[in-house]
Every structure is written in C-alpha cells, then in structure tokens.
Amino acid sequence: MRKRIREDMFAPKHSWDNEWQEIPGPEAILIGVVQNPKLRGLQGKTLTPVAELWMKDPPAKDRPEVDAIDTLFDLLIEDDAFTEVAVFAMSEPDVALALQQPWVSVDNDSSGTSPDGILGMDHPHPRAYGTFPRVLRKYVREECKLTLEDAIRKMSSLPAQRMRLTDRGVLKTGMWADVVVFDPEKIRDVATFDLPNQLSVGMQFVLVNGVPVIEDGKMTGLLPGKVLRGPGYKP
C-alpha cells in the first residue's frame, strides 16, 4: 500500500486533487494538531525536519531534499490519522482576487479553540484566532482591497442569506441581536504560524442574541448562543 500511494503521489495526474504536486516539497507542510501526546513535540514543525529527526527517508534522486513520504505514512499511523496540518500552497493574488468577488463570503472552518487549558496545548492554524480581524486589518485597512462595508457584508448578511438564516445577518427590528462593536483602526490579528494561540485585539463588544459575551474587551463568561439548524437538518 505504501508503494502504491507513493507512486500515485509522485505521478502527475489531473483525475484527483494531488496537493503533493502543488507544493514545493515537505517543507510546505506544517504539522499542527496531533492526538497522540507522544507526538506533541512535532507540533509547529514542518515535515522536513521531522523526516530528518526520524531518519526515515533518504533524499529522492530527482529531488535533493528529503521527500518525507515514509515519515508522513508513519506519522499518520502513530496518530491514528487524526493529524491536522497547514499546507502552504495558496497564491496570495488568487486569494485577493477571490475575496473581491461580490458573491464570496468569509468563513472560518477551524474548530473552536482556546489559549488556555487542554485546547491551549494544540498548535492550530492561526485562522482559529484571527480570520475576521485579519481580513479587516490586511485587506481593508492596509491593502484597501475591500471597503469596510463590503467586508462586513461578507461576514454577516451574505453568509446568512446563503445559509437561509432569515432572522440573522443584519441590524433590523425583529432580528436576533448579534452585534459587534470595534475600532476599525485598531482591530488586528495576532496569531502566527509559529505562535498561533493568541487572541486578536480590538474587539470592544460582542452581543449574541442580545447578550454581551465580550464587554469592554473582556469575556463575560455568558453563553447565550444556540445551535442554528439549516434547511437540511433532520432530528
């Protein structure tokens, strides 16, 4: 099976999305969250130094760097395939172009996390902490790729409409009071790939269903949120 997977990964094909062919090498794969506590020391490292540490893979003949495929196999086996990674394969001009399209929303597909407790031991993608403040800092304030109004629309009313949440997404009488208050000149992301467990700054108030969960920049500990069911939900 290893031989078959290795051959498939190194053979350029267009019949499936082979991300291995889209990156410069194993140095573009950052190990994030692992389930096996014995592997926690690998969090935050790319696959290249892990391969060198484990001494698994000789350099490939057609590539001077370590190809790291066997290291990748062994890592997935040791972690029961629960390993999460960040893959550096995206093009910044492509990201900006996509973001500027009027039908594109902004989302965060990272699971919930925290800088404290058990979750603070993970090494998540920095988007877990900084997705929306990053858009406001980088693409609105610094690069002027989006207006503030359009960025807010992409984070609120547009995704609500897309998900058919008819009672959320805008400030209007009769809607649920989901409200944020921030200084557009100060809000920014702090999380990095090296140090991801850092909360963003600049958010002054967050109200969920009319109840403040952040007040004067501090969490209140209140939990007024509810699970939102889409049209396809079946109990």
Distance of CA 169 to the CA centre of its chain: 22
Q: Tell me the C-alpha to C-alpha distance, in Å, between residue 98 and each of 16, 18, 135, 141, 211.
A: 22, 21, 13, 18, 34
Phi-psi region for residue 62, left (φ > 0), alpha (ψ -120 to 50) or beta? alpha
Spatial separation of the C-alpha atoms in residues 13 and 23, rounded to whole Å: 15
pLDDT value, residue 233: 87
d(CA 91, CA 113): 27
How far apart are alpha carbons 124 and 128 in whole angstroms?
7
- pLDDT digit string (tens) for 108-154? 999 888 999 999 999 999 999 999 999 999 999 999 999 999 999 99
Long-range contacts of residues 215-222, Cβ cutoff 8 Å, at least 24 apart: none
pLDDT in tens, 127-137: 999 999 999 99
Confidence (pLDDT) at 56: 72
Q: Are strands 29-31 and 85-87 parallel, antiparallel or unpaired?
A: antiparallel
Maximum pairwise Cα distance, the chain: 67
pLDDT at position 11, please? 87
| Low-confidence spans in the chain with pLDDT less than 50 | none
Entry pTM: 0.87
CB within 8 Å of 216: residues ≥ 6 apart: 204, 205
Query: 172: helix, coil or strand?
Result: coil
Residue 208 sits at φ, ψ, to 5 deg, of -115, 120
CA distance 83 to 33: 6
3-state class (DSSP) for residue 26: helix
Task: Tell me if 89 sits within 8 A of 28, measured CB to CB.
Answer: yes
Report the pLDDT value the prediction gives residue 61, as an integer from 0 to 100.
Answer: 59
Give tens-digit pLDDT for 95-104.
999 999 999 9
The C-alpha torsion from 104 through 106 and 18 to 83, rounded to 10°, is -160
The percentage of the chain sitting over the pLDDT mark of 70, rounded to a whole number, equals 96
Q: Are 84 and 124 in contact (CB under 8 A)?
A: yes
- Give the pair of three-digit tokens for residue 14: 């267009």
**Res 65: pLDDT:** 55
pLDDT on residue 55: 82
